[in-house]
Amino acid sequence: MSALQTTLAAVELKGNLGSIGYGLAAIGPGVGVGIIFGNGTQALARQPEAAGLIRANQILGFVLCEALALIGLVMPFVYPTK
């Protein structure tokens, strides 16, 4: 393998690390959203009279989890690999 091919392989690998990092970073918010809505559905089944409060708390939790996903999406652009 020549030096140019080695350099190109290294550059290609660094470009893909950001994508892999975001994929791994998206696992946490995905699990969090699943837990939020799963537990919210159970809470609604147990106490239907508290639907407004439960729904408001679900939406707040969903927004916070999705904010983490958006931060994970933006960080590779803010701090690119060298």
Residue by residue, pLDDT tens for the chain (82 residues) are 566 666 555 555 555 666 677 777 778 888 989 999 999 999 999 999 999 999 999 999 999 888 888 887 787 777 776 6
On whether residue 82 sits in a domain, the answer given is no
On whether residue 34 sits in a domain, the answer given is yes
Tokens of 22: 């975001």
On whether residue 27 sits in a domain, the answer given is yes
pTM: 0.65
Give the CATH number, domain containing residue 34: 1.20.20.10
Residue 40 and residue 51: Cα distance in Å, rounded? 9
On whether residue 6 sits in a domain, the answer given is no
On whether residue 69 sits in a domain, the answer given is yes
On whether residue 39 sits in a domain, the answer given is yes
How many domains, the chain? 1
